[in-house]
A and B are shown apart, each in its own frame.
Chain A
Amino acid sequence: MTSTTTGRARHTVAPSRAGLRWDRFGLPSLLLAPLLAVVLGVVGYPIVRTVWLSFHEGEYLMTGAFNGVDNYTEIFGDPYFLAALLRTTIFAVVCVVSTLLISLAIALVLDAGSWVARIVTVVVLLPWAMPRVASGIIFKWMFNDQYGIANWLLVSLGFEQFKGYAWFNDGFASLVAITIAVVWHSVPFIAISMLAGLRATRGEVLEAARVDGAGFYQQLLRVRLPMMKPLLVILGVMSTIFAYQSFDHFLVMTTPPGGPSHSTEVLSLLTWLQAFTVLDQGVAAAMAVVTFVLLAAITAIYVKLSKEGA
């Protein structure tokens, strides 16, 4: 398009050779310069630096001597790190699956498209606007053992064993409560995106399927979801990364952070504590690199999946 633009412009003012080059290279470079500065300065350099730090000693957040893969052997020999790795992965899978399913259900309900649905759409997106720290605190309170509304509700529904049930006493129950809080927070964005995707599938193909007598589920499974595949992949990647990165909820909801007794330690929290409480940036950097590689691999798998289908 650039060439057509300059081509037409020639009718009025014949641009000089320099002007042409400016329009082709100078201007776009200038426009991109701030972005590139940010990308290189606060993203690119830190990544390289983290990798570099992960091969060095780093006690008290001071860069020490090169120590090869010591930091990596240390973390892979640490049962708490390995447990956190596995725990984060399971947590992420549960979060992603439930987020996607709940979001799809909500999107289908809102797809009905009346004026009521339009209002409900705004309501659905609201939890996204609540700061994560605040939602963590509120869910922690709702899951309080004695005065929490969750236990009251469960007991009222006839589950007597939840009377005074201490959600944050062991890892599994804590993770259930945290998962609920995280999913509550991450569903809105995904659900609204899915709603948009569903709307976009309306058209000739869907109409044809309906004429052929396809029912609601057949339409959904055979026509609409396949059409949404690229979107679903992106949403899958996004929610996986949200889940792997969950930090605020864990920091606010568990006492001590990652407790009781290491049972809710996840990668992000463990890395951060390692860096800023244990003050060992070398080991923390190694943990960050492992997380990074893991997420990159997951993203690659998603992308490959989406290409195979297409």
Chain B
Amino acid sequence: MQRPWNSALKAITATSAAAALMLASACGGDEEAPAAAGEVTGAIDVWMGDPIGAAQQPTIVQLAKDYETAHPGTKVNLRFLGADAHKTYLTSIAGGTVPCVALIGNTWSPEFAGLQALEPIAQDPATMKGVYTQSMIDSTVLDGVSYAVPYDTGVRALIYRKDLFDKAGLAAPKTWDEVLSSATTIQKDNPGVNGFGIIGGNQWYWLPMIWNWGGDIAVQEGGAWKAKVDSPEAIAAFTFYSDLLTKHKLAPAGAATWQGADASKAFALGQIGMMVGGSWDLKTILAQSPQMEQQLATAPLPAGPGGNNDTFAGGSNLAIFKGCDNKATAKSFVDFLMKTENLVPVTTKIGLLPATVDALEKERTSGSFSTPLLKAYAEQAPSTRSIPPVSTWGKVEGTGAIVNAMQAIMNGQQTPEAAMKELASQIDAAIGQR
């Protein structure tokens, strides 16, 4: 009768013994002597926030290995964060368990700098001029000091099914009204295909429409920021986007909570006629179904009633955290990643543009952006704007206030006016006073 028990007991003993052994070995591994100041040796923690494609992870893992080989005695501990990367960074800043180096979204840079979490990169950002793309330098600056190294940039453009458009005798839409009419036609002509890929769960795909409609997210009034998302233009822009889903039913109902990933997936499966997508989304689509390359095309974004087609200047920066206890290695690793020959392969594989002038030149001439499919992204690049450069903007992003407003409009929980008014007060509360 005791027999089954005996085997279980053995299992438990074995497990605990293994655990004890591992505890011993793990502690041993972690407690390597911290490197003497200035010496490039020892371990560093490197985090990559919200990976933007399946290709990113293996590419970065390989680069880290190359670095370790080139610098014996170093160890790069990589961690890849998911969709809630922003929250993870905040928690680690509050807890003092920050990584040494991190690739962070450009809108997070002033926020983390404002929390005193980042190591200054340049006391005078003017010294960075000419080395990096100017808009990306601006994204690293808080109170006249730069806190991060611009790494990559990306813009969104229109991705559409050229085969279906050709069949219907349509050209790529130039305005949002044409988006509506051509999407309706495509959907009617092709059963199983949705006219437009709505991405309700990610604000960066539709927040810029406020600009297209002639509105603003927030403006500076007498030194303080004031939210403008309750303006008629902004309300009209959000209503238009919401109507594409709820009134015109140009996407599956679930698209109200879609992320970029879901739209790319649906596009790759041939179920979407057209979508707003970053160059990385294009790469994701092509990686999932390579035969799409013959069927799709890209175009600059459609313009709105405001007469512009501006989109958000996206990108990422490399930051070194103040709490890092091995800054010499951290700095050397950042330098390593920024080398043109290391940067271009990453951006090419993922489908982004490098943020250094040097690498950008190389990418434009020989990289993937010289191909016809990516030309639209190069054309779109000058028509970009940034979100208000305030350190507390992160509260707007972190609480998901903008996505909540759009989803409340989409599922009819609130009228567009009420939702945008609430959003305006939330933005004011976050960035208003300071």
Residues of chain A whose beta carbon lies under 8 Å from any beta carbon of chain B? 60-62, 144-146, 164-166, 168-170, 255-257, 259-263, 273, 276-279
Contacts and interface: CB of A to CB of B under 8 A. Distances in A.
Of the listed residues B94, B257, B413, the one surrounded by the most CB atoms of chain A closer than 10 A to its CB is B257
A245 B414 CA distance: 29
Contacts of B410: 169, 260
B400 interface: yes
Contacts of A145: 252-254
* 8 A-B pairs with the lowest CB-CB distances in the bound complex, closest first: A145-B254, A166-B254, A260-B407, A61-B94, A261-B408, A166-B253, A256-B400, A261-B407
Contacts of B414: 261
18 contacts: A60-B94, A146-B266, A164-B252, A166-B254, A169-B256, A169-B410, A255-B83, A259-B257, A260-B256, A260-B257, A260-B403, A260-B407, A260-B408, A260-B410, A260-B411, A261-B404, A262-B404, A279-B94
Nearest to B266: A146
B254 A169 contact: yes
Contacts of B18: none
Interface of B: 83-84, 86-87, 90-91, 94-95, 115, 200-201, 252-254, 256-257, 259, 266, 395, 398-400, 403-405, 407-408, 410-411, 413-414
A207 to B, nearest CB: 29
Given A259-B404, A260-B407, A261-B408, A166 B256 contact: yes
Contacts of B266: 146
B424 to A, nearest CB: 16
Contacts of A168: 254, 257
Given A60-B115, A259-B403, A263-B413, A166 B252 contact: yes
Contacts of A146: 252, 254, 266
Nearest to A254: B257
Contact of A278 (B200, B399, B408): B399
A279 B404 contact: no
A259 B254 contact: no
A61 B90 CA distance: 10
Given A146-B254, A168-B257, A170-B411, A257 B84 contact: yes
A259 B399 CA distance: 11
A263 B252 CA distance: 20
Contacts of B252: 145-146, 164, 166
Contacts of B200: 260
A260 B259 CA distance: 12
Contacts of B407: 259-261
Contact of B257 (A61, A62, A166, A279): A166
Given A145-B252, A145-B253, A255 B91 contact: no
A261 B419 CA distance: 10
A62 B93 CA distance: 11
A141 to B, nearest CB: 13
Most buried by B among A144, A166, A169: A169
A249 to B, nearest CB: 16
